[in-house]
Chain A
Amino acid sequence: MTRRFSWFNATSLTFGFAFLYLPMVILIIYSFNKSKLVTVWAGFSTKWYGELMRNEAFLDAAWVTLKVALVSSTVATVLGTMAAYALVRGGRFFGRTLFSGMIYAPLVMPDVIMGLSLLLLFISIGLDRGVFTIILAHTTFSMCYVSVVVSSRLASFDRSLEEAALDLGCTPFDAFRSVTLPIIAPAVISGWLLAFTLSLDDLVIASFTSGPSSTTLPIKIFSAVRLGVSPEINALSTILIVLVSVGVISASLVSKRAIIRQRREERAAVT
């Protein structure tokens, strides 16, 4: 039976998506505004993008942010996948409840508390704050997100595939590499992507754990935004929105195709 899609559904979807997207569309349009006054349209111009490219402080911050995001998301993906494997396939071990608690807690913990506690740790062990401490902090919270994403995939796939590999003489490590990893790969990749964007995005924890020489882009944006709307920030935001959207959409298309191919192969293997 066909679902009854009423005028009420159509209106609520239209208004809902307008609400979700209009602010960002307006931001993007006004980043091409010629006028310094951000609320008055004075004609099309790309001069704010030019200004942005000449702004050393922003470029430095962008570089720091990118470095932190690349390293922390990669380490977080390795640790998070290990944690997911330990939780789903590790059986019973000492302190398992505490372990799973520590995986889930950062997902609901306010950023201010995470940031404060990590900063107090770094100070009490005498670690100088800088790029390294931001990486440690970001790895800690994003590995939990990765682990949640990967463990839901691990829990849902057929365990007998792994067992078959073991029966056929694979070592557990070989079985993981040639059977498990290809199957959970889409989840691992989306976990990495999530960790990467979370790191790119984080203001609060980075503010607590960064040193004077290691300003990230969100910290820079935040201090500029407190002074009011600026066309340069609009241009920067537009670049970030476009980059993330292109990345996320293409990743989801790629993974969708991978899933379709995988299903076809599984079906072919059965017949």
Chain B
Amino acid sequence: MNLRRALLIALPYAWLLALFLVPFGIVLKISLSDMALAIPPYVPTLDIAAGWTGLKEFFSQLDFENFVFLTEDDLYWRAYLSSLRIAALSTLITLIVGFPIAYGMSRASDAWRPTLMMLVILPFWTSFLIRVYSWMGILSQQGLLNQFLLWTGLISEPLTILNTNIAVYIGIVYTYLPFMILPIYASLEKLDDSLLEAAEDLGCSRLQAFWLVTVPLARAGVIAGCFLVFIPAIGEFVIPSVLGGSRTLMIGKVLWEEFFSNRDWPVASAVAVVLLLILVVPIILFQRNEQRQREQEQ
């Protein structure tokens, strides 16, 4: 029995240690190394055969040069800041778009709600890349949106939307919308209608009742939804590279190009380490929010 239990724990544990934690150690180590024209393209490499002196030699060559480089070249600063800005603004837009949908779902009749739920979840299962791609045909110069707007006479010249930041915002809002809707819906669904009735009996208008009862009770869901959109949006790569233009600056794209185009592995690793440090703050806040919610439910 005990051997079985040990095996049950040890197998997934060892897998995650080897393929999740150790790789991070390697990223950290390479971020402290220097780029070199060699295979692998960085120095120093650890020479285990040299024993203790080899280890000392190895550590003495590690430095924070790449991190200093990140602060000196303003490309990286601007990329981090613009990722944060794009993520924050698109989270806000997703909230504005998603809240009424979640609210509408929570008001729908019991017979309809499972179907509506399925309709929200279904896009989440279909390919992310395809959903991002589907906007290319709509937003391009001769795309359907421009054709439609020209036809209605609202504009006389086609708008340039594809390959700008606006397209990136649309892409993020579109693909992450289910992540916003589901937690808000989950908290609104539990809302007791008699609370609204009580508020109205006590003289609230419907709008006041909504503002004073529904919104505060949806807060936990709103916070969870915002984190679920904000956190992955910061490191997003697919959306800025498919819908964004050459001037769209996001850190996921910078990391990718640093690695695949410039082949500068140490700088790419340093970019990853800093990105991770930036993400730690919202991730911890998110965890705390989840925990508080769980405690409230108990």
Show the binding face of A for B, using Cβ within 8 Å. Answer: 1-6, 8-10, 12-13, 16-17, 19-21, 23-24, 26-27, 30, 38-40, 79-80, 82-83, 85-86, 90, 93, 95, 99, 102-106, 108-113, 116-118, 120-121, 123-124, 136-137, 139-140, 143, 147, 172-173, 197, 200-201, 203-204, 208, 218, 221-222, 225-226, 228-229, 233-234, 237, 240-241, 244-245, 248-249, 252
Which of B11, B116, B174, B265 is in CB contact (< 8 Å) with A19? Answer: B174
Interface string of B225-268 (1 = CB under 8 A from A): 00000011011111001100000000010011001000001001
Which of B59-67, B71-79, B140-148, B215-223 faces chain A? B140-148
B12 adjacent to A82 (CB under 8 Å): yes
Q: Point out which of B130, B197, B276, B279 has the most chain A C-beta atoms below 10 A from its C-beta.
A: B130
Main secondary structure of the interface of B (DSSP, over half): helix
Question: A257–B178 Cα gap in the complex (Å)?
Answer: 25
Q: Are A237 and B130 neighbours in the complex by a CB distance under 8 Å? A: yes
- A223 smallest CB distance to B (angstroms): 11
What number of residue pairs across chains A and B have CB atoms under 8 A from each other?
238
Main secondary structure of the interface of A (DSSP, over half): helix
Q: Which chain B residues border A79 with CB–CB below 8 Å?
A: 11-12, 15
Contact of B27 with A117 in the complex, beta carbons under 8 Å: yes
- Whole-angstrom distance between the alpha carbons of A79 and B20 in the complex? 14
Residues of B with C-beta under 8 A to A39: 137, 140, 142-144, 147
Q: Please determine whether A12 and B104 come into contact, CB atoms closer than 8 angstroms.
A: yes
- Contact, CB under 8 Å: B107 / A221: no
Give a binary string over B270-298; 1 marks a CB under 8 Å from any A CB, 0 the rest.
Answer: 00100110010001001100000000000
Residues of A within 8 Å of B193, CB to CB, are 1, 3
Q: Is the CB of A121 within 8 A of B133?
A: no
Min CB gap A128→B, angstroms: 13
- Please indicate which of the listed interface residues B1, B100, B129, B287 has the most CB atoms of chain A within 10 Å of its own CB: B129
* Cβ-based interface call for B120 (8 A): yes
Residue in chain A with minimal CB distance to B236 = A110
- Is the CB of B138 closer than 8 A to any CB of chain A? yes
Decide: B109 and A5 in contact? CB cutoff 8 A: yes
B129/A203 in contact, CB under 8 A: yes
Shortest CB distance A89–B (Å): 9
When chains A and B are docked, how far (Å) is the Cα of A232 from the Cα of B154? 32
Query: Do B269 and A229 touch across chains, with their CB atoms under 8 A apart?
Result: no
Are A108's CB and B279's CB within 8 A? yes
Is B231 a contact partner of A86 (Cβ separation < 8 A)? no
Do B118 and A221 touch (CB < 8 A)?
Answer: no
Asked if B137 contacts A229 (CB within 8 A), the reply is: yes
Q: Do B27 and A218 have beta carbons less than 8 Å apart?
A: no
Q: Is the CB of A117 within 8 A of B24?
A: yes
